[in-house]
Amino acid sequence: MIHKLLSNPTVREFLRVILAVLIALLLGFIITLFVSEDPIGAYKAFIFGPLTKLNRAGEWIKESITLMLLGLATALVFKANLFSLGAEGQMLFGALVSGSVALFVPLPGIIRIPLALVAAGLVGFAYGAIPGYLKAHLNANEIVSTLMLNALALRFYDYVLINFIKPPNAGYNASDFFPKEGSLPNFIPDLPFIHDFRQIFVNQANVTIMLWIAILLAIGVYYLMYRTPYGYELRMLGANLKFARYGGVNTKQTIVLAFALSGLVAGVAGAH
């Protein structure tokens, strides 16, 4: 019975993820032993602390959304057995472009917010395609190219923020507050029969609709990888580059698109 259960690829994948999480928690606890006077109490607070108050749970979910999107972005490239460290730079460009749209484009929120999200995804797509092209056509090392592009993105982000976005009287490098029309709404819709319940989340745990967007993107990435011809080509490329090439896969196009789609998801993460 157990052998039959373990022979199921889905079960094996689930157990692999659980094992990875448990190993990470164990390593974290070992590190805590050396840096904390009360390691058990510290680790208990680390694991269960976000569940004790609504505002803590909200902050935990908000941080998880960005990490989820960046994980999805990285997974797309990793599936092709390639290594992209460029999600940071793509996220910065997404943040810069989406923030600029939210601040300066005089449109109602129902148009401005989707426009900001689309702009973030498109700029991430374009910036992600650069290391993909370098890898596919010039065989440039993707780790080096993505790290260099991260540095370039950070400098460009700082330059635009300081010289064009930061208010003249600001004492630190930051944009002005986003107007209501450019701010992401709460993840719970404002319906009359749940208005009071929604207000609790708005006041104490301001989790935005990016939660639903992240979930939809996770479903979309899974569907792309395992239910589309491109996903099959991507997995074949990751398994064996030469076999994929001999099997008729346009490996160069597949590589460029993998990096570009990874950049799209990372760019959307920047809009959060």
pLDDT-wise least confident of 30-34, 140-144, 195-199: 195-199
Q: Which residues contact 256 (CB under 8 A, 6 or more apart)?
A: 129, 132, 133, 136
Whole-angstrom Cα distance, residue 88 to residue 90?
6
Give me the domain span that covers residue 33: 1-51
- One domain for residues 153 and 263: yes
Whole-angstrom Cα distance, residue 164 to residue 97?
12
Q: Is the pLDDT of residue 5 over 80?
A: no
- One domain for residues 100 and 218: yes
- One domain for residues 23 and 73: no
- One domain for residues 36 and 72: no
Whole-angstrom Cα distance, residue 170 to residue 150?
26
- One domain for residues 23 and 72: no
Whole-angstrom Cα distance, residue 174 to residue 165?
8
Q: Please work out, in degrees rounded to the nearest 5, the angle formed at the alpha carbon of residue 13 by the alpha carbons of 259 and 18.
A: 105
- One domain for residues 15 and 125: no
Q: Decide which of 95 and 174 is more confident.
A: 95
Last residue of a domain, one of 36, 51, 66: 51
Whole-angstrom Cα distance, residue 118 to residue 264?
9
Other beta carbons within 10 Å of 139: 8
Q: Please work out, in degrees rounded to the nearest 5, the angle formed at the alpha carbon of residue 214 by the alpha carbons of 61 and 99.
A: 90
pLDDT-wise least confident of 45-54, 222-231, 261-270: 45-54
- One domain for residues 46 and 58: no
- One domain for residues 45 and 63: no
Other beta carbons within 10 Å of 146: 29
- One domain for residues 42 and 78: no
Q: Decide which of 206 and 250 is more confident.
A: 250
- One domain for residues 44 and 77: no
Whole-angstrom Cα distance, residue 119 to residue 102?
11
End-to-end CA distance of the chain: give it in Å, rounded.
Answer: 45
- One domain for residues 74 and 43: no
- Return the exposure string of 52-86: e unless at least 16 CB atoms fall within 10 Å of the residue's CB, then b: eeeeebbeebbeebbebbbbbbbebbebbebebbb
Structural domain count of the chain: 2
Q: Residue 203 has what pLDDT?
A: 67
- One domain for residues 47 and 66: no
The predicted model scores a pTM of 0.88
